[in-house]
Amino acid sequence: MATISELKDDRIIVHNEFLIRSSVHSLLQTLESRGVMGQLKARIRAEVFSALDEQRGARPSLSHDNLLINELIREYLEFNKYRHTASVLTAESGQPETPLDRQFLAAELRVSEDASSKSVPLLYGLVSHFLNSSDNRGKVLLRGAAVSISAPGHDS
Please say whether the beta carbons of 122 and 111 come within 8 A: yes
pLDDT at site 8: 67
Measured between alpha carbons, how far is 19 from 26 in angstroms, rounded to an integer? 10
User: What pTM does this model have?
Assistant: 0.61
pLDDT at site 17: 81
Q: Measure CA 52 to chain center.
A: 17
pLDDT at site 12: 76
CA 93 to each of CA 28, 57, 143: distance values in angstroms, whole numbers, following the listed order: 30, 14, 25
Residue 87 CB burial class (10 angstroms; 0-12, 13-18, ≥19): buried
pLDDT at site 150: 53
pLDDT at site 59: 66
pLDDT along the chain (156 residues), means of 10: 67 76 84 83 80 68 92 96 88 88 94 90 90 67 57 52
